[in-house]
């Protein structure tokens, strides 16, 4: 499409994603077709493809704001943040932050965290496989020494702490069941894991995400409990461990001898 060996690829990408910029210089087009028109078609196809990829990655956000609003918002994101990786499934890692700063979406304060949850679901789907810790081995763990134990989490494990009921919103839009109205100012902490083929999304008790983050950093269970209690004084360890065990979030637990 160009005849220059030292063509400025950065300028090309910027012009490709911003219709207000002129096409790059030195464009060529076979058959006498105006290069500017050909570039405009290419520009539209690339932008539309990236918007489609975002709509596929964030389907619940699309449902919450409507297709027209979402696509307009996604176009703004595409122009500001072009892909950094050839892997299209990685695109959108900064979309939630963008949404939190997108003025027309300010009336939906829960939308950025819903986007974070949806991105975590996609990331979990593409994460490495690992065998979750079998329940019989979990039952055999010496609870008296668990405080000094450490754990390895499944590679697909993600947690999102929100001031809004993002797990309930996610479940509502993934199911046809009628649910009672949500209290949108009630916070929830989401756990996302893909232990086998299916994505698991569960709600952790308050402080649960801090507990998981501490374990991810190599802290002991006792230190993780302290981290969780620092966030939520009523942290319920039993409920948190139950969700982590049932969803297959642990792949190993190392007990000190």
DSSP string across 171-235: HHHH--S--PPP-TTS-EEEEEE-SSSS-EEEEEPTTHHHHHHHHHTT--HHHHHHHHHHH-TT-
Q: How confident is the model at residue 45 (pLDDT cuts 50, 70, 90)?
A: low
Joined tokens for residue 62: 């699309």
DSSP reduced 3-state for 129: coil
- Sheet containing 188-193: give its strands across: 158-162, 188-193, 200-204
The tens digit of pLDDT for each residue in 136-193 reads 888 888 877 889 999 999 999 999 999 999 999 999 988 766 656 778 889 999 999 9
The whole-chain average pLDDT of the chain stands at 86
How many helices (H) does the chain have, and how many strands (E)? 11, 5
pLDDT of residue 10: 59
- Contact, 134 vs 250, CB < 8 A? no
- What pLDDT, on a 0 to 100 scale, did the predictor assign at position 82? 84
The answer to whether the beta carbons of residues 207 and 193 sit under 8 Å apart is no
Task: DSSP letter for 22, please.
Answer: P
Contact yes or no for 227/210 (Cβ under 8 A): yes
* Over residues 80-93, mean pLDDT: 84
What integer pLDDT is reported at residue 5 of this predicted model? Answer: 45
pTM of the predicted model over 0.85: no
**CA 229: distance to chain centroid?**
26
């Amino acid at each position: 499409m160009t005849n220059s060996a030292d063509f400025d690829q950065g300028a090309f990408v910027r012009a490709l994603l911003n219709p207000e910029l002129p096409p790059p210089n030195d464009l060529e087009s076979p058959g006498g077709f105006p290069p500017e028109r050909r570039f405009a078609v290419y520009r539209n196809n690339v932008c539309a493809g990236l918007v489609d990829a975002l709509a596929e990655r964030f389907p619940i956000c699309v449902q919450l704001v409507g297709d027209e609003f979402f696509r307009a918002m996604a176009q703004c994101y595409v122009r500001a943040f072009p892909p950094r990786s050839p892997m299209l499934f990685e695109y959108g890692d900064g979309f939630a932050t963008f949404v939190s700063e997108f003025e027309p979406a300010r009336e939906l304060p829960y939308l950025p965290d819903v986007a974070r949850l949806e991105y975590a679901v996609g990331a979990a789907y593409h994460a490495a496989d690992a065998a979750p810790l079998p329940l019989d081995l979990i039952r055999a763990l010496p609870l008296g020494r668990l405080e000094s134990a450490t754990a390895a989490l499944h590679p697909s494990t993600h947690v999102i702490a929100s001031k809004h009921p993002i797990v309930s919103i996610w479940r509502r839009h993934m199911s046809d069941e009628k649910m009672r109205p949500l209290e949108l100012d009630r916070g929830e902490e989401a756990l996302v894991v893909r232990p086998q083929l299916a994505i698991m999304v569960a709600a952790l008790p308050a402080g649960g995400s801090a507990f998981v983050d501490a374990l991810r950093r190599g802290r002991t269970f006792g230190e993780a409990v302290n981290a969780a209690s620092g966030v939520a004084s009523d942290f319920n360890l039993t409920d948190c461990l139950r969700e982590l065990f049932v969803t297959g979030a642990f792949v190993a637990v190392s007990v000190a001898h």
